[in-house]
Chain A
Amino acid sequence: DTAVSQTPKYLVTQMGNDKSIKCEQNLGHDTMYWYKQDSKKFLKIMFSYNNKELIINETVPNRFSPKSPDKAHLNLHINSLELGDSAVYFCASGKGLRDTEAFFGQGTRLTVV
């Protein structure tokens, strides 16, 4: 069974479109995250949620809107996609907010053309 699963794995779309990436974890964790990994492999946190509550929003543009319907799911919706949004987006989960391992999904490679 996949612990943290995200869909789709690949996403190619045109500038200006709106797209969503879904994430689900079956580990029973309370905390979920979205990370962005750029072409240089730099890994930056975007959002973290704990029990469906937003904890961290790292100065991400308003075009990015996370939604957590329950603590097992954290979806990422992106409006008006731009070329610079092209990256690999990773969902992750953890047991709690502090001092714990993050379990990552396999990533979604988003290409905006």
Chain B
Amino acid sequence: GENVEQHPSTLSVQEGDSAVIKCTYSDSASNYFPWYKQELGKGPQLIIDIRSNVGEKKDQRIAVTLNKTAKHFSLHITETQPEDSAVYFCAASPNTNAGKSTFGDGTTLTVKP
């Protein structure tokens, strides 16, 4: 089955700096890569996603890049703000295994004011 590794497990940055979270996956059949943000006491919420036919996607301060050959994808947050502090999860969804996204272990991001 699919295996998703996420790094780092914790990340602390100063407000205004950039943050990068990286994930690797094992199943070359994976074609959908969402990123979720989980705030304290809440469920994960999608912040951005990318499909395997695209190499990069950007939405304001967040961007995701995908390297299919190397089987890794990354989340980039620029100009971080204290409200970006949360746990971030990457996931990979193979189109050969219907209904199952495999999640990374999460990254706890802390943005210091």
Contact = CB atoms under 8 A, between A and B. Distances in A.
Interface residues of A, number: 27
A98 B99 contact: yes
Contact of B43 (A41, A58, A101, A104): A104
A56 B99 contact: yes
A44 B43 contact: no
A19 to B, nearest CB: 20
A101 B49 contact: yes
Interface string A69-113: 000000000000000000000101000011111111111000000
Contacts, number: 66
A99 B51 contact: yes
Per DSSP, are chain B's interface residues mostly helix, strand or loop, or mixed?
strand
Contacts of A107: 41-43
B46 A102 contact: yes
Contacts of A43: 44, 89, 103, 106
A106 B43 contact: yes
A25 interface: no
Interface residues of B, number: 26
Contacts of B99: 31, 33, 48, 50, 55-56, 97-98
A21 B111 CA distance: 35
Given A33-B99, A90-B44, 11 more contacts: A41-B87, A42-B106, A43-B44, A43-B103, A45-B100, A45-B103, A50-B99, A56-B100, A102-B46, A104-B44, A105-B43
Interface of B: 31-32, 34, 36, 38, 41-46, 49, 51, 87, 89, 93, 95, 98-103, 105-106, 108
6 contacts: A43-B89, A43-B103, A98-B98, A98-B99, A99-B95, A106-B42
Q: Which 5 A-B pairs have the closest CB atoms?
A: A104-B43, A99-B32, A97-B98, A48-B99, A97-B99
